[in-house]
Structure 1
Amino acid sequence: MISLVLAMIWSRRGQAVTLALLASFAVAAAVASPAYLLAVDRAIAVGQIGTADAAERGLVVAGVQNDRDSDSSQIDFKDFGASLVKLPGFTYIYAAEFPVIGIEPGPQYADRFVFRQDVCSHVRMISGRCPAAEGEVIIGVATAKRLRLVAGQSITMRAAKYSDDPKDPGYIADGRAKKLVIAGTYRANAPEAPYWGTHGYFTGVPGLGPGEPIFTNPGTLDAMDHGDTAKAIDGSAGPRALDPDHLDELRAGLAALNSDPSELGAAIQISTGIPALLDRIDAGRSAAHLLVPVLAVPLVLLACFSIFLAVGYGTEGRQPELAVVALRGSRWWTRWWLAIGENIAAVAVGAVAGCVAGQLLVNAVASARFPGVGVDQGLDSLRYAPYAALAALVAAVLAQRRQLLSPVASLLRRNAVPADGRRAVATEAVIVLLAVVTTAQLVISDGALTGVGLMAPAFLMLAVAVLGARLLLPAVTRYAGRALDRGHLGVALAAFQLSRRPGAQRLFALLVATVAVAGYAACTVDVADGGRRVQSRLGIGADRVLKVDGSVFRSQLLTAVRNVDPDGRYAMAVVRMPNIGHSEPPGLAVDSTRLAAVANWPSGGPSAAELASRLRPEAPAPLVLTGPQLAIEATGSGFDPEKELRLAVAVSSTTGAGDALVQLGKIHNGRFRYQQRVSVCEKGCRLNGVEIVQATAVSSVTGQFVVNSLGAADPTGPLADPAHWRMTRYGTVTADPAGLRITLNAPTGLIGGVWINPVDAPYPLPAAYAGAAPIADSITGAGGGPLPIKPVGRLSAVPRLGRHATLVDLEWADRLATDAGQSLEPQVWLGPAAPADVVGRLSAQGLSIVADTRADQIERQLDRQGPALSLWFYVLAGALSVLLGAGALVLAAAVDRARRVEDLSALRGQGLSRGRLAWATSWTYPILVATAAVVGLVTALAAWLATGWALPLAGLDPPDLPVPTWPRVLVVIGTTVAVFLVLVLVATATGQDLRRRVTKQERARR
């Protein structure tokens, strides 16, 4: 019997090879999914580790010790070592530092006196040499140039500490003076290198430019008389610690290190960003484990369907043989073995080959897409191979059920049994019901890709495919009849070949599913790619974003950026607006004069240039005071002497020196001169407002306050014109022959004080918004209080903040603020025209740049995260689906070939012309493929509409950005056309082969 089965296989070796290939594709698809997940898990870890910053790749064990305090817990480097043994694979750098004074001209700034292990290997000596003996130091080349210091020069330094004395704040001596020698000047080789850790040694200092510590050796550090010393060990994780296969061990080691603080002592603290890195890796892997099965399931179903179709086609071609076996009265097991043996053998061989092919295919994709990552060499990827092989065998047996159970008379019938029986209809109804149930589950679970919801895309595509096939045959039959009536015999023969073959309906459904799987993959990949572009560009706001230290004032930031880029070609100052509670959306204040040149702008709504003109209408010039002496002459009347009121003024430097809230003292009845020296007004300052505030809790405040003169302001000019002033509560401002009259009338007291502001900015403030309009047309102003706004435009999203935010002009917002407070999350956005040395230019203006983020850098990071990496499986699945469809098409044509050659040869003998023969042979399957391509495109879009929204393409915690939800038209149509061309080439080749065989048989008869 075995020899007979082998002979049958050899006689139909073409069909057997095709069936074996289809089975190998099915098993390969099942193996590819877990194998790809194993590979992508490693790729995600390697990608995130490769793009992590120094804080996420290391840890800092630090503490502060005062050597003079004998009662304090002493910290020594050797105390750290025993605990760090639990974390192998780290490289440790020891460091210690304290502040010193002696070379900076004033108490505002101190230098960092630092010992850092092996520092000489990470700096380049510009002059002199590294410190070797006790008493030697090296200083930065920029510091040396600024302070006119040279190698070999002696300096005297003292340890220092900061004094917050309001009368004279600054650094004061905290130790005996020590004479030191400058051994050399240095420049850091790579200030951003992991070696420097997270200490910010080279962070710019406002007023001084780039920061440069004074480096020394441990002997000099100990010889200095000093108090508090910050000691630290910087651990940098190496390849061994960050091995993708041992990240769980790293997490456990970190947890153990933090579990018992008593081991290191209460004075020692551990800080690390490694857990955040591990969490991001886990989140990426979770997204990948959700995304890959979404298309793996329909791919496996498609493979099983192709095997079912192929075996069914082949068995129908063998019905006469099976009828003879049954007619001779063979035992049932003999009949069954002869019926299924040929197909079972082909499927078994294909299953074994599929296990190897699936792993090799993933290896090839992984090596091309994830170079240097490697793949897991274990057998985990083969855990689903037996199930896939079993599914293939079950599909093969089910495809032959009718031939195994039918009587001889049915097997001897030449006309095939139609596929519209009750069983077929019931099967299709079950498929449609499953599609409805799984999609409903996906919607009810709010997009949770678990349980049956995970299978929603697969059953949707299969349901639309079988319904389309159900509608195909009646349409083709009617078309064939009309073509025959019109005398188009070739067309009618091609159409009848489809309508009279029940296998054609299943083949059509398979081709529709093939196009649908490829189309769905294209939709997913394109939408995800568009989302990453939005995240990397609109998500950070500009091509490059510099984060500025938060100690800068708004006016200082604005002035510094305008000084660096006076023409507004490439740099824009940006700060966050405060928002109170969750009900108020976040806000952004930008220098809108540069908005169009710098910002990455969202589609929809007004353009950046148009919106900038709305955000920045004309406004009166500000009231500018000259000189550091701020003096106000005013006359008070009607104030109750028992109710103490005080006068204050808010000013901002016009040269970027900062802001100040100046207290001028108690308000008096009668004429009085209020005077204070304000350092930020040394080169001029802008008046932001005059404040009258009650010193104690009082009620019923009344009186008049006439401002006779204000610094160098003209009392007959804007000062005396009430139209140039704004007082929103507790009284009014009116003109007075002696100046500006302020009338107070507060029956319940000056709760929160009262501000009299110059009208030098639009009020209400023009604002654009995304999402819902701000409540009551008001937001929290830059100074913290409520600020009326006038909506001037609606955006799809505010750059950096997303779909629910507000946008205002920074200069106008700053003029309306009187808090003299520092900026909230200050940044400098840079456009494509920014010069390479822009960071140095900004540092020279006193801005301290603490982070530098680029859009292309963010895009690279996103490309190496879980969602992006997992979608390469979709490309693989699309290719496999096309191969399955092409293989099924070849097998169907091979099975039909013998019967069609016989039929068409007979028709040629009856006078069928060569032209009509060409139509009958060449257009049967191409027409089927063309129709399937159109229906498959609709199927893919329908499945995407129903389920695409649930895919975590932006990760498990997506940003609030208007990412695309639909693929580009050209991408979807292009993918469909590409699949169609592949399938139609296969179909055309089968038609040409059929025509050659008919011609050959015709010649043989002659």
Structure 2
Amino acid sequence: MIRIVRVMLRRRRGTALLVLALSVIASAAAAAVPLYTGAAARAVTAAQVADAAPQELSIARTILLTPGGFPGRPAPPAADKLAPQLPYQPGFTTVGGLLVGGQLGGSDTSPGKSVWLAYRSGVCAHVRMLSGRCIAGAGEAIVPQSAGLRPGSETGFAAGTLSQGGFRADGDPIRLTVVGVYAIGDLTGAYGAGRSFTGVPQPDEEPEENVPAVFATLETVGATPFGTAFQTTDLIADGVDFTDDAGLRALAAEEETLAEENGYDVSTALPDLLDRIAAERAGLDRSVQVAAVPLLLLTMVVLYLAVSSSTVRRRTESGLAGLRGVPGFTRWWLSAAETLLPALAAAPIGLAAGWFGVRLLGAWTLPGGDGPRLTWGVAATVGAAIVTVAALAGTAVAQASRGPIAAQLRGTPARAHTVLIGLAEVCAVLAAVAAGYQITAEDQPGGLALLAPLLIAVAAGLVARRVTGPIAERLGRWGLRRGRVNRAMAAFVIARRPTHSRLLALLVVLFGTGGFAVAATTAGAWARAERAQLDVGAAEVWSLPTTTAGDLRNAVHDADPSGRYAMAVAMLPDKRFRVLAVDAGRFCHVGYWSADAQVSQDQACASLTASGSGPLPIIVTQPPPDRVAAGADSVAVTEVAQVAVLPRLGTSGGLIDLGGLPAATPVRQAQVWLAEGTPELIRSGLRVQGLTPLATMTADQVADRLDSSGPALALRFYLVACLAAVVLGVTGVLVVGAAEHDEIGRVMRALRIQGMRSRSVPRQVAGGYAVLVVAAALIGALVAALAWRTARAVVPMVADEGFAPATPLLPVRPGLLAAALLGQVVILLLTSLVVATVLRRAVEGEPR
């Protein structure tokens, strides 16, 4: 029997190679899901860690030290009590420190500058020296640039507290020798652990409470007479495996427990980072798995068509074997072996193809990633896909070869299970309806709703398959009555060949899912760009040092008199209600505005402009308080409009006019917003006015960060998977052409004998396929539009809890959608022309 199977494989290489290719596609698609998911999850995790706040990458312990003694004359603490604890945790770097608050350079006649005298281990490796050198011995210090001191100068530091009655020293001041001036450097990163002296905004403190640090050695800080000091121990995550979600959460909980037991404070936002990573990974896993379903489904359908049509063409052989007494299982094995063996051989090839394909896709979607990793889980997935392919092929052989031996000898196809097929089609339509209802009934649809685009396409394909036959039959009769033989014959082939109606259903699913994938990908890109613009507020934002509202506004006006490129902005220090003060006269030219806002940007600018001495107009996302804090005082506000989202503030806060604030109002979170295409002359003018940015942020930078998020990566995989399915469409056309080759060839040869022209053969065949392709494209476009209107809510836009722009009702880029569908149509039409040409040569090669 093995020899017979070998002969069959050699004689029917075409069928074996086709099954091998389809099995490779199925196994490659199955392997691509875990391979891409793993690589994308690692890339998403790395992106989240890179963008994390310092508090999210550290666990900060703070111990209050009180040395005792009399007020004003504290007793010197023991040296062992000053040294910070340095516990070890795998993947973390422990940074110890000691903080003493006080004033630098004060005297009896003038107050000094509020600073922290700080020791922090490894500080010299994490600050950028502007002049001088870093600390090396006792009595030496490095100061920030804002201190106004130079290397080599002497200054004094007195520990104490600042109250309404003035500064109260804890003891005699100490002398410090300034050996260097530093810039913040890495202090704002993970190394600083978000401590207040790094300048990183604190969640529970006002901006003015952030004071700079003067760094010195532990001996210097410990020798300072102080009433209170803070011993700090920070665990910095610099080698942590952030995929170990449970382990990191357990560590954070353990630190909280230790803090309660030992009476010190611990602060960390590590669980917040883990929550974001988990949300990104969960959405990515779900979306990639759903994205692979259309490709796998189309592969299985084409495989079933190929195997069943090949078996039907050999029904006579099966009948002869049965007539000679060969058992039914043996006949099934002889027919199925030429498909099962290539399917099994496809496993390693498909695994390698999936790995290579994900590597190529990762070069586009995951720049800088570490690529796919082969695991036993990937191998198990490929094995499951191959088992499914083998089972499907075996079922197709059994279905196509069943029936009486007499019917097999005549070569007539097996009778279809009409009732079962009808029930399956009804169930598919009901599933599509149920998925659509679930989307409309739930705020966050899941489960069956995630497959709604595919189910709608499948239901439409099955309905089109049912109605195509009667319509084609009538068109064929109409063509015969009018003497249009070629059109009539093409219509009759579509009407009377079941493989053509199956091909139509396949192509409808292909065009429908491909169109939806293009619409989803373009809408996702638009939503991320919209989100980035609203998160930043303008094309570019400069963060500035503390100033006053009047000085900030006047400086920007002097640098940009036209008002088209630069705008002064200030975040007010109100803890209850976030308020952003913008220059209303320039906001329409510089700031971004939501496309879904109920109030236009021009109306917003007009309504924000303050007039008179009454309450300031405010545009809010929720009801505001009667007054909001603005420096030491507060200002009255009155609501003039309410919108869903505001630039920079998101879904919580309000906008007022900066010009309505008193000119002397202190602004500690000052900003300058720049419009897109701001000339360099304007930027230089801003710097000349003293507006030198401490940090900058652009909408493009935020958009790039969002483009590396889980939803963006999942949508790209979805697009590639659906558009790659055009290969299956081409294969389907070739399979149907091969299945009908002999029968249609006999018909065409008979018509040629009766005088039909030679060129009519390709016209009839290619015309029939062209009608199928064009009809499927038109139906598929309508299906894509219907699926987008119904199921656009399942498209992942953003994974976090921030603002998600409303998904547009119509495709964002219809031209790109049309181009993608047209490209698929052209490829399939060219394939149809090849099938027609092959058939013409076969007909002409036979003697007449």
TM over 0.5: yes
Measure the CA separation in 2 of the matches of 1:204 and 1:874.
39
Q: Which residue of 1 aligns with 2:344?
A: 348
Query: Does residue 79 of structure 2 align to residue 233 of structure 1?
Result: no
Q: Mind listing any 5+ residue stretches in structure 2 that lack a counterpart?
A: 70-74
Residue-by-residue CA offset, 1:288-346 (whole Å, 9 max, x unaligned): 12222322333322222222222222222223323333444433223323333333333
Measure the CA separation in 2 of the matches of 1:858 and 1:798.
17
Pick aligned residue for 2:605 from 598, 602, 612: 612
- How far does residue 390 in structure 1 lie from its aligned partner after superposition? 3.3
Query: Does residue 119 of structure 2 align to residue 115 of structure 1?
Result: yes
Whichever residue aligns with residue 106 of structure 1, its letter is: S
- How far does residue 796 in structure 1 lie from its aligned partner after superposition? 7.3
Measure the CA separation in 2 of the matches of 1:388 and 1:50.
37
- How far does residue 277 in structure 1 lie from its aligned partner after superposition? 1.4
Query: Does residue 437 of structure 2 align to residue 440 of structure 1?
Result: yes
Aligned length: 829
- How far does residue 245 in structure 1 lie from its aligned partner after superposition? 4.6
Q: Which residue of 2 aligns with 1:740?
A: none
Measure the CA separation in 1 of the matches of 2:401 and 2:273.
59
Pick aligned residue for 1:80 from 68, 76, 85: 85
Q: Which residue of 2 aligns with 1:980?
A: 825
Q: Which residue of 1 aligns with 2:361?
A: 365
**Residue pair 2:401, 2:408 contacting (<8 A) in 1 also:** no
Q: Which residue of 1 aligns with 2:321?
A: 325
Residue-by-residue CA offset, 1:708-743 (whole Å, 9 max, x unaligned): xxxxxxxxxxxxxxxxxxxxxxxxxxxxxxxxxxxx
Whichever residue aligns with residue 436 of structure 1, its letter is: V
Q: Which residue of 2 aligns with 1:601?
A: 593
Q: Which residue of 2 aligns with 1:177?
A: 173
Larger Rg: 1
**Residue pair 1:29, 1:358 contacting (<8 A) in 2 also:** yes
Q: Which residue of 2 aligns with 1:12?
A: 12
Q: Which residue of 1 aligns with 2:72?
A: none
Q: CA 1:345 to 1:150, structure 2 compared with 1: closer, same or farther past 3 Å?
A: closer
**Residue pair 1:63, 1:75 contacting (<8 A) in 2 also:** no
Pick aligned residue for 1:471 from 453, 462, 467: 467
Measure the CA separation in 1 of the matches of 2:185 and 2:684.
17
Query: Does residue 131 of structure 2 align to residue 96 of structure 1?
Result: no
- How far does residue 473 in structure 1 lie from its aligned partner after superposition? 1.8
Measure the CA separation in 2 of the matches of 1:977 and 1:389.
33
Pick aligned residue for 2:486 from 482, 490, 501: 490
Measure the CA separation in 2 of the matches of 1:219 and 1:610.
62
Query: Does residue 60 of structure 2 align to residue 60 of structure 1?
Result: yes
Whichever residue aligns with residue 991 of structure 1, its letter is: A
Query: Does residue 758 of structure 2 align to residue 914 of structure 1?
Result: yes
Q: CA 1:290 to 1:114, structure 2 compared with 1: closer, same or farther past 3 Å?
A: same
Q: Which residue of 1 aligns with 2:648?
A: 800
Q: CA 1:408 to 1:185, structure 2 compared with 1: closer, same or farther past 3 Å?
A: closer
- How far does residue 413 in structure 1 lie from its aligned partner after superposition? 5.0
- How far does residue 934 in structure 1 lie from its aligned partner after superposition? 1.6
Residue-by-residue CA offset, 1:740-770 (whole Å, 9 max, x unaligned): xxxxxxxxxxxxxxxxxxxx34x57656577
Measure the CA separation in 1 of the matches of 2:718 and 2:604.
41
- How far does residue 864 in structure 1 lie from its aligned partner after superposition? 2.2
Residue-by-residue CA offset, 1:620-675 (whole Å, 9 max, x unaligned): xxxxxxxxxxxxxxxxxxxxxxxxxxxxxxxxxxxxxxxxxxxxxxxxxxxxxxxx
**Residue pair 1:531, 1:964 contacting (<8 A) in 2 also:** no
Measure the CA separation in 2 of the matches of 1:202 and 1:844.
26
Measure the CA separation in 2 of the matches of 1:466 and 1:197.
60
Residue-by-residue CA offset, 1:889-937 (whole Å, 9 max, x unaligned): 2222223223333332333233221332231243332332222122122
Structure with bigger strand share is 1
Whichever residue aligns with residue 601 of structure 1, its letter is: W
Residue-by-residue CA offset, 1:861-900 (whole Å, 9 max, x unaligned): 2222221222232133214422222222222222322333
- How far does residue 282 in structure 1 lie from its aligned partner after superposition? 0.6
Q: CA 1:57 to 1:910, structure 2 compared with 1: closer, same or farther past 3 Å?
A: same
- SS of 2:229's equivalent in the other structure is strand
Whichever residue aligns with residue 234 of structure 1, its letter is: D
Whichever residue aligns with residue 985 of structure 1, its letter is: L
Whichever residue aligns with residue 460 of structure 2, its letter is: V
Q: Which residue of 2 aligns with 1:957?
A: 801
C-alpha RMSD over aligned residues: 4.1
Q: CA 1:273 to 1:402, structure 2 compared with 1: closer, same or farther past 3 Å?
A: closer
**Residue pair 1:527, 1:965 contacting (<8 A) in 2 also:** no
- SS of 1:923's equivalent in the other structure is helix
Pick aligned residue for 1:260 from 258, 271, 275: 258
- How far does residue 958 in structure 1 lie from its aligned partner after superposition? 4.7
**Residue pair 1:107, 1:172 contacting (<8 A) in 2 also:** no
**Residue pair 1:86, 1:253 contacting (<8 A) in 2 also:** no
- SS of 1:22's equivalent in the other structure is helix
Measure the CA separation in 2 of the matches of 1:563 and 1:230.
45
Residue-by-residue CA offset, 1:205-232 (whole Å, 9 max, x unaligned): 9999997643333333233333322332
Measure the CA separation in 1 of the matches of 2:84 and 2:187.
29
Whichever residue aligns with residue 92 of structure 1, its letter is: V
Q: Which residue of 1 aligns with 2:40?
A: 40
Q: Which residue of 1 aligns with 2:776?
A: 932
Normalised to the residue count of structure 1, the TM-score between the two structures is: 0.74
- SS of 2:500's equivalent in the other structure is helix
- SS of 2:215's equivalent in the other structure is strand
**Residue pair 1:204, 1:843 contacting (<8 A) in 2 also:** no
Q: Which residue of 2 aligns with 1:530?
A: 526
**Residue pair 2:617, 2:639 contacting (<8 A) in 1 also:** yes
Measure the CA separation in 2 of the matches of 1:876 and 1:954.
20
Query: Does residue 794 of structure 2 align to residue 946 of structure 1?
Result: no
Measure the CA separation in 2 of the matches of 1:114 and 1:838.
36
**Residue pair 2:197, 2:210 contacting (<8 A) in 1 also:** no
Measure the CA separation in 1 of the matches of 2:576 and 2:76.
45
- SS of 2:759's equivalent in the other structure is helix
- How far does residue 466 in structure 1 lie from its aligned partner after superposition? 0.8
Measure the CA separation in 2 of the matches of 1:231 and 1:988.
80
Residue-by-residue CA offset, 1:569-593 (whole Å, 9 max, x unaligned): 3133244697989xxxx87542202
Query: Does residue 749 of structure 2 align to residue 905 of structure 1?
Result: yes
- How far does residue 130 in structure 1 lie from its aligned partner after superposition? 3.6
Measure the CA separation in 1 of the matches of 2:255 and 2:575.
38
- How far does residue 564 in structure 1 lie from its aligned partner after superposition? 6.9
Measure the CA separation in 1 of the matches of 2:137 and 2:619.
63
Q: Which residue of 1 aligns with 2:147?
A: 143
| Paired-residue identity, % | 27
Q: Which residue of 1 aligns with 2:401?
A: 404
Q: How does 1:837-856 map to 2 (within 5 A)?
A: 853-856=697-700
Measure the CA separation in 2 of the matches of 1:575 and 1:954.
26
Whichever residue aligns with residue 331 of structure 1, its letter is: P
Q: CA 1:296 to 1:121, structure 2 compared with 1: closer, same or farther past 3 Å?
A: closer
**Residue pair 1:536, 1:859 contacting (<8 A) in 2 also:** yes
Q: Which residue of 2 aligns with 1:288?
A: 284
Q: CA 1:415 to 1:804, structure 2 compared with 1: closer, same or farther past 3 Å?
A: farther
Q: How does 1:128-277 map to 2 (within 5 A)?
A: 128-141=132-145, 143-144=147-148, 149-165=149-165, 170-189=166-185, 192-201=188-197, 203=199, 213-238=213-238, 240-241=239-240, 243-261=241-259, 265-266=262-263, 268-277=264-273
- How far does residue 949 in structure 1 lie from its aligned partner after superposition? 0.6
Measure the CA separation in 2 of the matches of 1:90 and 1:212.
23
